[in-house]
Amino acid sequence: MEHAPLEHAPKEHTTPVVRPRGPAHPDKPPEDRQPHLPLPLPPPLPAAAPAAGAAPTPATPAPAAPAKPTEEEKPVGTGLPLPRFAALRTDDVNLRAGPGTRYPIEWVYKRRDLPMEIEREFEVWRLVKDPDGIRGWIHQATLTGRRTFMVQGADATLRAEPKDDAAPVALLKVGVIGRIRSCEAGSAWCRVVVGDYRGYLKRSQFWGALPDEVIAP
């Protein structure tokens, strides 16, 4: 008795899953990275009373007040719009309590390309906010103008077209970082790249672009 040949059922197509690489959240700095701030000077000793009959010592003139900076001496910003987004240049970036190396390090970021929102500028320092809402100052040399994003809130589906019912390209887990290629005016979608996957992602699903920002390709 002959048996009919077995038919292999077609394999079900599964959407690839992309997981984050590296820590998305900052770490507290080790003690050896905290600056040793100079101790405050002790209060001056009280002046001794002059001896009877001694001629009074002339008072030491008070130091002149520092001159106010001229327009040319005031810190000059970049002239770029604020707020705006940038990305961390390296895997080791210090977030300080103030705009200068004399201020203590509050957090250390270990995630290259993490998007940061720049809120203020002071000379070579930038007041930034990270995806968790943490604010602090970092040096401009640790930032790059490369536009990146981080999936936030819930896992997001990268789609082949800017439509909710478009074919899925990949499932991006919370914390995944990728590159923003373009965001059109009035569109809720942006064209992005994550590793070898290209597609469209809703602005509401990631951190890294202003609500109505236009990003040219």
Burial of 213 (0-12, 13-18, 19+ CB in 10 A): middle
For domain 149-207, give the CATH superfamily. SH3 Domains (2.30.30.40)
Per-residue pLDDT of the chain (217 residues; tens, 9 = 90+): 444 455 554 455 689 999 988 776 788 887 655 544 433 433 444 444 444 554 444 444 444 443 343 444 344 568 899 999 999 999 999 999 999 999 999 999 999 999 999 999 999 999 999 999 999 999 999 999 999 999 999 999 999 999 999 999 999 999 999 999 999 999 999 999 999 999 999 999 999 999 999 999 9
For domain 80-146, give the CATH superfamily. SH3 Domains (2.30.30.40)
3-state secondary structure at position 110: coil
CA atoms of 155 and 146, how far apart (whole Å): 23
Q: What are the pLDDT digits (tens) for 164-191?
A: 999 999 999 999 999 999 999 999 999 9
Domain boundaries, the chain: 80-146, 149-207
